[in-house]
Structure 1
Amino acid sequence: MTITDPPARADLPREQTWDIEAIFATPDAWEQEAAAFPADLEVLKTFQGRLGESPETLAQFFQTDQTLRQRLGRLLSYASMTASVDGHDTVAADRRDRGNVLASQYTAASAFSSPELLALDEDTLREWLKRSELQEFAVPLERLWRTRPHVRSAEVEELLGALGSPFGSARNIHPTLANMDLDFGSVDGVRIGHGNIDALTGSADRETRRLAWEQYADAHLNVKHGMAAALATGVRQNVFTARARNYLDALTAALSSTYIPGQVFHTLIETYKANLSTWHRYWAVRARWLGLERLREYDVKAPLSAAPPIVSYPQAVDWIAQGMTPLGSEYVNTLRHGLTDGRWVDYGLNQHKRQGAYSNGVFPIKPYIFMSWNDTLPSMSTLAHEIGHSMHTHLSWAKQPYAHARYTLFAAEVASNFNQAMVRKSLFASQPDTDFQVALIEEAMGNFHRYFFIMPTLARFEAEIHARVEAGRSLSAPDLNALMADLLADGYGDGVQMDRERSGIMWGQFSTHLYSNFYAYQYATGIAAAHQLLSAFDDDAEAARQRYLTFLGEGGRLDPLDALRNAGVDMEKPDAVEKTFEVLAGYVDRLEALLEERLASGLVSS
């Protein structure tokens, strides 16, 4: 694969960009709405002290608040999306920061509502909730009642709400450094960037891989102290907020926001650690395939296939649609429209485009997908992942009122990983060519490496750094690097020769995940739940389809663990994680069998 410098944003074909004009037709339209929004928040003050006045007043408040939250969602989405596509666009960066200020202003303006609602007579409220205009707000109120021990007075709540903007500084400093100030240099005449680092570290040329991996790490190491200060600030903010709200610890506080008991987190981590031998076996097989005595970290993404397929965007759309046919024609037709004419996806690679991929639903307009396309199976897999999120959003909006439509991040990662697993299963069955099979195993292992190796490692990292701050300890760059290197060493075993300093800065390369307050673990629980859900299609495909589509359509009406239990998965038990390690081991078995075939045929030397 030839790697070239990406074009400027303005030079991308329209069809490779998302339909952001559906949110705001022009930047000026965003400016007008942003200017009007603070004054419109004043209407919330007219409800303060009156929520228990009558069911009609309460319904008016809920509807007014809901409208404001929808408007804020559009402002924040447009601001973050325009900043994502060009990290050097200072106007977009300023717009994003102003959006965060607006969010803080909304939080402060609405802060009175939770304490006031909790002070009202619960029996009276339950009687009011039987009225048609209030029924859709029953679930949010039930969840609010659960938080009673953690909601403070109206004055304290307003203060905590106002902290949103200054507390956002650490979250913004780290990605600003990563996206705007770091210079990664060049390899083979190609500028290294967030958008092409995976392609460069996946090069067939070992020297290219080494230089790209080392230079990318070194650039982060050059600002490790600044990044460490930002991360330490973010962790201290999480600990402060947890204590201010009377939670046992930061982990409990973070998980409570998505209604997840701590047992789920601990079960994941313990089951992951108990199965690390599967990863150790994979490193050994990969080294043999590559003809290396021992892997280096820049070999982890080295291509195994001599002839990986070139996958155009239209071909990927076809394969994804084909793979998702077990979910029915309505699902597939909507998916195909979103990926093509609907312009849900911004997939063109341009200069200064930030790293990664995400799906962002902008109610009631459409879900959007951000990524950078590079004509590979991993790109197709990323697209399948993100359209899983977007279809989850689409079905939640279709089946639930706005008050119930927003699902948790925990549930979100199930839908995205399910799509990847189902498409991969389809391709294994429909593409028998050996080179394709090797490339597909490689894609699968790359996906598992990110979600079932890196993310549990980041989760362990998060748990430890929060525990250190809670114990009154500091978080210096050398300490963070040493911790990360130790955790990676657990996963590598003897199969990978480490460069501990460069390995240790991996935390600095996740400038968004580590500021989302225990988000990374949900990638691992998501991939685990997804594979257990997929396995049910082998027993009774129609029943499994109905249960899965029901899960997607529940949105946030049920707690995510309850919605998953209804679909057949209990994440408080280790079964789903163990099942997914079985799938992982199966890929290693396939790869090893293909290696033995090649050794026997003389295609590679032992």
Structure 2
Amino acid sequence: MTLQDPPARADLPAAVRWDIEAIYATPDAWEDDARTFPEALGTLRAFAGRLGTDAVTLAAYLREDEQVRQRLGRLTAYAGMQASVDGQDTQAADRRDRAGVLASSHAQATAFASPELLAMDEGTLRGWLQRDDLRDYAVLVERVLRTRPHVRSAEVEELLGALGSPFGSARGIHPTLANMDLDFGSVNGVKVGHGNIDALTASADRDVRRSAWEGYADAHLAVRHGMAAALATGVRQNVFTARARRYPDALTAALHATSIPNPVFHTLIDTYRAHLPIWHRYWNVRARWLGQDHLREYDVKAPLSANPPTVTYAQAVDWITQGMAPLGEEYVSAMRRGLTSERWVDYGLNRHKRQGAYSNGVYPIKPYIFMSWNDSLPSMSTLAHEIGHSMHSFLSWQHQPYAHARYTLFAAEVASNFNQAMVRAHLLDTQQDPDVQVAIIEEAMGNFHRYFFIMPTLARFEAEIHARVETGRGLSAPDLNALMADLLQDGYGTGVQMDRERSGILWGQFSTHLYSNFYAYQYATGIAAAHELLAGFAAHGDAARRYLTFLGEGGRLEPLDALRNAGVDMERPDAVERTFAVLSGYVDRLEALLQARDAARP
């Protein structure tokens, strides 16, 4: 890998940047829309006390609120996207914060709606929902009715809505520290940043890996007390909200929002812990491959292939579209246009670009993708993951009205991981060069490491810190570091020699996930459901149709119901068990390649 300082944002060609101008042509256009947004909220407030008057009034309110929500979606997406590509753009950060205030204002302005709907006679209300002008809102209203035990009076709901903006401060402090104030040092004269840390810790040069990993961890450790205070505040907010809405605990409150029973979470964690020996075996095989007695944390991404393939963005697009061919020409053509001519993807690396990757659908404009490209199989895998999200949005928008188009996070992680699994299977079948085979398995293990190791570990961490707050205990930085190090040690076993202090600050490096109220576990359930679905392609002739139907359902069905229709029951451990079998199979293949390599040596 050649180390180079990334260019300034303004120096990137348009082809590697997303077409954000399709949302607002200029920041001034955003400002104009934001300035007049409060007027729309006044229109919504005028419906207070009138929703039960008649079906026509209710339909008028829901239509008006839908338009306001779409407008708010554009405002928040544009602001967040601009802040993502340049963490030191203070004007973009200001717009992002102001968009959060607008979202809170909307929640406050519409706080009357749920109590009024719940005060109505259910029979009358359900009768109204059969009308043509209300049918598209039936799912939305039914979900409000399901929350009856947890919705408070209009006055309390208004107060809870008003808390949205001040409660957003904790989730804003942590990424601000991480993206704007931390200096991660340099490696061989190249500044370490969120955009290149993954590439640096995957360097073939062990000193580069070590320096980058330690510098990244040390920068977070330097502000661990401030980050701990922010995280503790975020957890207390979750616990407060759960109690205010009469849930027994924060986990139940988070899962109830999408009708996920608590046993789904606990089954995942229990099954994960039972299969940790597979991870322990992998660390041992990896150490043998690298010729080391023990791995260090900065070795878990060390390249195994001596000649890993260089994968340009264009090559990745070809491989992804070839791999997804079983889903049909219509799916593949739309995907290719989004990845190329329609500029859904921001993949150019520039200074101050934040870490990570995401898909951010802006209904009905474009399902955008944020990432940083580095000409590697992992970059291709990330692109496959995110285009899975974006195609989920694309098909949902095609088949569902706006009220049903937004799918849950639980369902979202299925689509993204399915794309990765299908493309990986295609490459293993078609790329027979041993070096490429090793690189594909290495990419697979890197992906599993994030989604089937790190994310379950974060889920265990999240469950424990919420439980501590719920029982009146504190969350200090030393306690958080010790807890994270203990959980990682479970997964590493004796195969990885740990630096507990630097490993323990891993929680500080997830400045968004841990503020999303039990989000991390859904990566693990997503990868499990994805592999269960992929297995169905060999067993069922209509698997492609069922999967595309799942994508097109959007949020019309609850995620567990939509997955059952596609052939996966996530209330059972089967999908998680199958995915650990897939993981074990990759370790077997890697071990076989290791033996073949050693046997071929003189």
Q: Which residue of 2 aligns with 1:440?
A: 440
> In the TM superposition, what is the alpha-carbon distance from 1:46 to its structure 2 partner?
1.5
Q: Which residue of 2 aligns with 1:597?
A: 596
Q: Give the Cα–Cα distance (whole angstroms) in 2 for the partners of residues 302 and 128 of structure 1.
A: 61
The 5 A counterparts of 1:385-534 are 385-534=385-534
> In the TM superposition, what is the alpha-carbon distance from 1:404 to its structure 2 partner?
0.6
Q: 1:315 aligned to 2:315?
A: yes
Q: Which residue of 1 aligns with 2:124?
A: 124
Q: Give the Cα–Cα distance (whole angstroms) in 1 for the partners of residues 334 and 44 of structure 2.
A: 38
Q: Which residue of 2 aligns with 1:365?
A: 365
What runs of 5+ residues in structure 2 fail to find an aligned partner?
none
Q: Give the Cα–Cα distance (whole angstroms) in 1 for the partners of residues 338 and 202 of structure 2.
A: 29
Q: 1:295 aligned to 2:295?
A: yes
Q: Give the Cα–Cα distance (whole angstroms) in 1 for the partners of residues 94 and 583 of structure 2.
A: 43
Q: Which residue of 2 aligns with 1:283?
A: 283
Q: Which residue of 1 aligns with 2:264?
A: 264
SS at match of 1:369: strand
> In the TM superposition, what is the alpha-carbon distance from 1:584 to its structure 2 partner?
0.3
> In the TM superposition, what is the alpha-carbon distance from 1:223 to its structure 2 partner?
0.2
Q: Deviations over 1:359-418 (max 9, x none)?
A: 000011110000000000000000000000000000001011111111000000000000
Q: Which residue of 1 aligns with 2:586?
A: 587
Q: Which residue of 1 aligns with 2:169?
A: 169
> In the TM superposition, what is the alpha-carbon distance from 1:98 to its structure 2 partner?
0.3
Q: Which residue of 2 aligns with 1:374?
A: 374
Q: Which residue of 2 aligns with 1:324?
A: 324
The 5 A counterparts of 1:211-222 are 211-222=211-222
Q: Which residue of 2 aligns with 1:564?
A: 563
Q: Which residue of 1 aligns with 2:248?
A: 248
SS at match of 1:591: helix
SS at match of 2:570: coil
The 5 A counterparts of 1:313-352 are 313-352=313-352
What runs of 5+ residues in structure 1 fail to find an aligned partner?
none
> In the TM superposition, what is the alpha-carbon distance from 1:141 to its structure 2 partner?
1.1
> In the TM superposition, what is the alpha-carbon distance from 1:300 to its structure 2 partner?
0.4
Q: Which residue of 2 aligns with 1:231?
A: 231
Q: Which residue of 2 aligns with 1:549?
A: 548
Q: Which residue of 2 aligns with 1:538?
A: 538
The 5 A counterparts of 1:8-19 are 8-19=8-19
> In the TM superposition, what is the alpha-carbon distance from 1:476 to its structure 2 partner?
0.0
Q: Deviations over 1:6-48 (max 9, x none)?
A: 0000000100000000000000000000000012210112111
Q: Deviations over 1:95-151 (max 9, x none)?
A: 000000000000000000000000011111111111100001111111111100000
Q: Which has the larger displacement, 255-264 or 224-233?
A: 255-264
> In the TM superposition, what is the alpha-carbon distance from 1:170 to its structure 2 partner?
0.3
Over the residues paired in the alignment, what is the CA RMSD in angstroms? 0.6
Q: Give the Cα–Cα distance (whole angstroms) in 1 for the partners of residues 30 and 271 of structure 2.
A: 47
Q: Give the Cα–Cα distance (whole angstroms) in 2 for the partners of residues 594 and 360 of structure 1.
A: 39
Q: Give the Cα–Cα distance (whole angstroms) in 2 for the partners of residues 595 and 55 of structure 1.
A: 69
Q: Give the Cα–Cα distance (whole angstroms) in 1 for the partners of residues 314 and 206 of structure 2.
A: 31
Letter aligned with residue 602 of structure 1? R
The 5 A counterparts of 1:80-95 are 80-95=80-95
> In the TM superposition, what is the alpha-carbon distance from 1:55 to its structure 2 partner?
0.7
The normalised TM-score by structure 2 is 1.00
Letter aligned with residue 395 of structure 2? L
Q: Which residue of 1 aligns with 2:96?
A: 96
Q: Deviations over 1:416-445 (max 9, x none)?
A: 000000000000011000000000000000
Letter aligned with residue 538 of structure 2? D
SS at match of 2:287: helix
SS at match of 1:309: coil
Q: Give the Cα–Cα distance (whole angstroms) in 1 for the partners of residues 584 and 439 of structure 2.
A: 17
SS at match of 1:195: coil
Q: Deviations over 1:156-201 (max 9, x none)?
A: 0000000000000000000000000000000111100001001111
Q: Give the Cα–Cα distance (whole angstroms) in 2 for the partners of residues 258 and 417 of structure 1.
A: 20
Letter aligned with residue 36 of structure 2? A
Q: Give the Cα–Cα distance (whole angstroms) in 2 for the partners of residues 126 and 98 of structure 1.
A: 37
Q: Give the Cα–Cα distance (whole angstroms) in 1 for the partners of residues 180 and 404 of structure 2.
A: 38
Q: Give the Cα–Cα distance (whole angstroms) in 1 for the partners of residues 385 and 111 of structure 2.
A: 35
> In the TM superposition, what is the alpha-carbon distance from 1:332 to its structure 2 partner?
0.1
SS at match of 2:109: helix
SS at match of 2:542: helix
Q: Give the Cα–Cα distance (whole angstroms) in 1 for the partners of residues 44 and 59 of structure 2.
A: 13
Q: Give the Cα–Cα distance (whole angstroms) in 2 for the partners of residues 236 and 24 of structure 1.
A: 36
Determine what percentage of the aligned residue pairs are the same residue. 77
Q: Give the Cα–Cα distance (whole angstroms) in 1 for the partners of residues 345 and 379 of structure 2.
A: 13
Q: Give the Cα–Cα distance (whole angstroms) in 2 for the partners of residues 221 and 514 of structure 1.
A: 17
Q: Give the Cα–Cα distance (whole angstroms) in 2 for the partners of residues 45 and 272 of structure 1.
A: 48
SS at match of 2:367: strand
The normalised TM-score by structure 1 is 0.99
The 5 A counterparts of 1:204-215 are 204-215=204-215
SS at match of 1:47: coil
Q: Give the Cα–Cα distance (whole angstroms) in 2 for the partners of residues 277 and 167 of structure 1.
A: 40
Letter aligned with residue 565 of structure 1? R
Q: 1:145 aligned to 2:166?
A: no
Q: Give the Cα–Cα distance (whole angstroms) in 1 for the partners of residues 542 and 60 of structure 2.
A: 41
Letter aligned with residue 228 of structure 2? A
Q: Which residue of 2 aligns with 1:51?
A: 51
Q: Give the Cα–Cα distance (whole angstroms) in 1 for the partners of residues 75 and 257 of structure 2.
A: 23
Letter aligned with residue 594 of structure 1? L
Q: Give the Cα–Cα distance (whole angstroms) in 2 for the partners of residues 10 and 225 of structure 1.
A: 35
Q: Give the Cα–Cα distance (whole angstroms) in 2 for the partners of residues 140 and 520 of structure 1.
A: 25
Q: Give the Cα–Cα distance (whole angstroms) in 2 for the partners of residues 128 and 206 of structure 1.
A: 66
Letter aligned with residue 213 of structure 2? W
> In the TM superposition, what is the alpha-carbon distance from 1:259 to its structure 2 partner?
1.5
Extract structure 1 runs of 4+ deviating beyond 3 A. none
SS at match of 1:367: strand
Letter aligned with residue 476 of structure 1? S
Letter aligned with residue 182 of structure 2? L
Task: Tell me the matched-pair count.
Answer: 602
> In the TM superposition, what is the alpha-carbon distance from 1:278 to its structure 2 partner?
0.2
SS at match of 1:2: coil
